[in-house]
A and B are shown apart, each in its own frame.
Chain A
Amino acid sequence: MDVTPPKSLTELFTGFLAIGARSFGGVLPWAHRTMVEERRWLTPADFAETIGLCQFLPGPNIGNASIVLGKRWFGVTGSIVAFLGLMALPFIWVMALGALYLEWAHDPTVRAVVTGVGATGAGLFMGTALKLGRAIVRRPAALGLVAACFLAVGVGRFSMLIVLPVSAAIGVFFARRGWL
């Protein structure tokens, strides 16, 4: 497949603007559609590898992807332009929706619906975790780590600043022994 990386900062900006503007229900599918299918900036494999790296890095995955890809094509200016393009419209949407919500927050039905949406979003997180968990479900050491993390952070409410280094050290120890 022929790829044609963006030729100008304007093209980079409008591409990421198109991703942000349309990304109802999740950014990743729209990032793929825009950059791989429509504009052909990247091959599918290249896209998957970049996203894989950004999922490993801390921070918002798709935000990191805009930094990494912007840098690849236009250096630090590219990173900034891609990031701003990605965030500009969603920032306005979310602020507008937030302002609208505040207008109506005193209405018990509105509160009930919005809380229902929140609980649904929480459920989507759990579903996503289960999807990700399928790959590691046969490893008892991995399941132990999942359970320990959940008990410490979810139920025990310990700070991640403590739990993360400890569990990461245990995880690397397990991985080096071939248990993960």
Chain B
Amino acid sequence: MILLDLAVTFGVLSLIAFGGMPAVMPEMQRLVVEVKGWTSAPEFIQLFAIAQAAPGPNVLIVSLIGWKAAGLPGAVVALLAVCGPAAVLSWWIADLWERFKDSPWRSAIQKAIAPLVVGLILSGGYVLCTPSTPDWRLWAIAAASAIALLTLKVNPLWILAGGGTIGGVLLGG
């Protein structure tokens, strides 16, 4: 019943992914690697890399995880599970949200979520480049990439290409 397990795991992630996929990445890594054992920690960062390098929404990492766990059906189930519940919620909330435009609660919730998203995305970056024991080379690459994003005005794809080259030199045998 691995398909059901994939559906439930990613369905739950879908509903707590405030701030999108980057914010839920630490929880996804914890569930996939530590709780379910669908991939190892070094594999997880590699699947993440493939999803980042391919065009399209970065949510597609879940298809690669589903594929590793249960083949092509796993890939489809994981993607639908991570999008479905949030999609249903969006479908209902879109109009409601408009109605509460001037509610003080709406602005309080928005303000409360902003710092949480920042903390969660930072956690995602930290967890991804610390797969098992801390490795200064991964941290150095991540730091250089963050600085490049903040200072250069280029397509992030170039930054990924640069980081891949540095990785080949630093991490290669």
A positions within 8 Å CB-CB of B:
20-27, 53-64, 67-68, 71-72, 76, 79, 83, 86-87, 89-91, 93-95, 97-98, 101, 105, 108-109, 111-133, 135-136, 142-143, 145-150, 153-155, 157, 159-161, 164, 167-168, 170-172, 174-176, 180
Are the CB atoms of A116 and B168 closer together than 8 Å? yes
- Name B51-67 residues within 8 Å CB distance of A: 51-60, 63-64, 67
Q: Whole-angstrom distance between the alpha carbons of A115 and B141 in the complex?
A: 10
Q: Given A97-B50, A160-B16: A113 and B164 within 8 A (CB)?
A: yes
CB distance from B146 to the nearest CB of A (A): 4
| Nearest neighbor of A20 in chain B, beta-carbon distance | B56
Residue from B108, B113, B123, B160 with most neighbouring chain A CB atoms (10 Å): B123
Since A120-B162, A122-B125, A167-B119 are in contact, a sample of 18 more A-B pairs with Cβ atoms closer than 8 Å, ordered by chain A residue number, is A25-B157, A54-B90, A56-B97, A59-B14, A60-B59, A91-B60, A94-B50, A94-B56, A97-B53, A97-B54, A98-B64, A121-B163, A124-B145, A126-B122, A127-B147, A154-B119, A154-B127, A160-B27
B60 touches which one: A90, A129, A147 (CB < 8 A)?
A90
Per-residue contact bits, chain B 114-158, to A (CB 8 Å; 1 contact, 0 not): 111111111111111100000001110111111111100001111
Sorted from nearest, which 8 A-B pairs have the closest CB atoms? A116-B167, A59-B86, A90-B56, A120-B163, A149-B119, A171-B112, A123-B145, A154-B123
Q: Is the interface of A mostly helix, strand, loop or mixed?
A: helix
B positions within 8 Å CB-CB of A:
12, 14-22, 24-27, 30, 34, 42, 45-60, 63-64, 67, 72, 75, 79, 82-83, 85-87, 89-91, 93-94, 97, 104, 107-129, 137-139, 141-150, 155-160, 162-168, 170-173
Are the CB atoms of B108 and A175 closer together than 8 Å? yes
- Listed by A's residue number, 14 A-B pairs whose Cβ atoms lie within 8 Å are A25-B156, A55-B20, A63-B86, A90-B60, A93-B55, A117-B164, A120-B49, A123-B142, A124-B159, A129-B122, A131-B150, A145-B116, A159-B27, A175-B108
Q: Whole-angstrom distance between the alpha carbons of A87 and B114 in the complex?
A: 27
CB distance from B145 to the nearest CB of A (A): 3
CB distance from A86 to the nearest CB of B (A): 7
